[in-house]
């Protein structure tokens, strides 16, 4: 049975607090790595989504087979959410594989934020978000739905 990462995105947003006006607690992060059978249904390396005070970022990383993301971290610096993880050491003869993971940040301040991700020692990939183009929210609250827009810098 195939699993798809966008399904996980929908479940995460459904479980998120609905209609939170302003976060009252500091931002918190949860991180998970998708199982090897999970198909990442995006062509982009970094795919952020936002609903209210929750930002969910799906990462599709090209690694050496057997490498795993460890020590995930996040920070909100200026107008960016900065995400990072280290990778376990590669086996020299290992071929290339795709690893999918998800950063879920809750209690995100209500302001425009880009997402910057780097894995290992590479340069960050920065992605901005835009208001959902085919979605007509019932209010002018931009935080009701934000989707990936453009890659700003990086690989």
- What is the Cα–Cα distance from 46 to 117, expressed in whole angstroms? 7
Query: Quick one: pLDDT at residue 145?
Result: 60
Query: 79: closest CA among 154, 152, 155?
Result: 152
| Residue ranges per structural domain of the chain | 3-153
Residue 130: how many other CB atoms lie within 10 Å = 13
Query: Quick one: pLDDT at residue 87?
Result: 94
Query: Quick one: pLDDT at residue 132?
Result: 61
Query: Quick one: pLDDT at residue 50?
Result: 86
pLDDT in tens, the chain (155 residues): 445 555 444 444 444 434 445 678 999 999 999 988 888 887 788 999 888 889 999 999 999 999 999 999 999 999 899 999 999 999 889 999 999 999 999 999 888 888 999 987 788 888 887 666 555 656 555 555 665 554 444 44
Four-CA torsion 100, 83, 142, 13, nearest 10 degrees: 40
CA atoms within 13 A on the CB side of 34: 25
Query: Quick one: pLDDT at residue 133?
Result: 58
From the DSSP assignment, how many helices (H) and strands (E) are in the chain? 1, 11
Question: What is the reported pTM?
Answer: 0.74
């Amino acid at each position: 049975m195939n699993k798809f990462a966008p399904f996980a995105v929908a479940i995460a947003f459904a479980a998120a607090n609905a209609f939170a006006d302003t976060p009252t607690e500091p931002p918190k992060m949860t991180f998970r790595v998708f199982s090897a059978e999970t198909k990442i249904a995006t062509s982009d390396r970094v795919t952020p989504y936002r609903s209210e005070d929750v930002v969910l970022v799906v990462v599709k990383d090209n690694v050496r087979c057997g490498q795993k993301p460890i020590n995930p971290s996040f920070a909100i610096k200026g107008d960016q959410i900065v995400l990072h993880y280290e990778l376990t050491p590669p086996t020299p003869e290992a071929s290339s594989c795709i690893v999918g993971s998800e950063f879920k940040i809750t209690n995100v301040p209500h302001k425009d934020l880009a997402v910057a991700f780097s894995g290992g020692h590479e340069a960050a990939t920065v992605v901005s978000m835009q208001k959902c183009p085919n979605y007509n929210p019932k209010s002018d609250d931009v935080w009701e739905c934000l989707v990936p827009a453009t890659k700003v810098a990086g690989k």
